[in-house]
């Protein structure tokens, strides 16, 4: 799991599924795709609401770099 402060679980699954789909469509292997998807879900729960909690790609990439070196 990624170390984030969870405040709202709304849209966590949407963020996870979207990031997983994009990662697989880009040809990433399943392990890397799931790591990216988990990071997206983690970032989503660190914000309130649905649309506002969707992380930008750069935020997901930074979290993966910071916590999965």
Q: For 59-69, write each residue's pLDDT tens digit.
A: 999 999 999 97
Confidence of residue 21 (pLDDT cuts 50, 70, 90): very high
Beta strands in 1-69 (DSSP E): none
Residue 53, pLDDT > 90, answer: yes
Domain ranges of the chain: 12-67
Percent of the chain predicted with pLDDT > 70: 100
Residue 10, pLDDT > 90, answer: yes
Burial class (CB in 10 A: 0-12, 13-18, 19+), 28: middle
The catalytic position among 3, 8, 14, 52 is 14
Residue 41 corresponds to which tokens in the numbers above?
A: 């879900």
Q: Give me the pLDDT at residue 62, please.
A: 98
Report the mean per-residue pLDDT for the chain. Answer: 97
Q: Could you confirm whether 52 is annotated as catalytic?
A: no
Q: Give me the pLDDT at residue 69, please.
A: 79
């Amino acid at each position: 799991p990624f170390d984030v402060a969870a405040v709202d679980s709304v849209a966590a699954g949407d963020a996870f599924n979207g990031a997983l789909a994009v990662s697989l469509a880009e040809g990433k292997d399943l392990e890397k795709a799931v790591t990216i998807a988990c990071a997206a879900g983690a970032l989503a729960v660190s914000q309130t609401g649905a649309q506002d909690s969707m992380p930008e790609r750069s935020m997901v990439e930074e979290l993966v770099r910071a916590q999965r070196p």
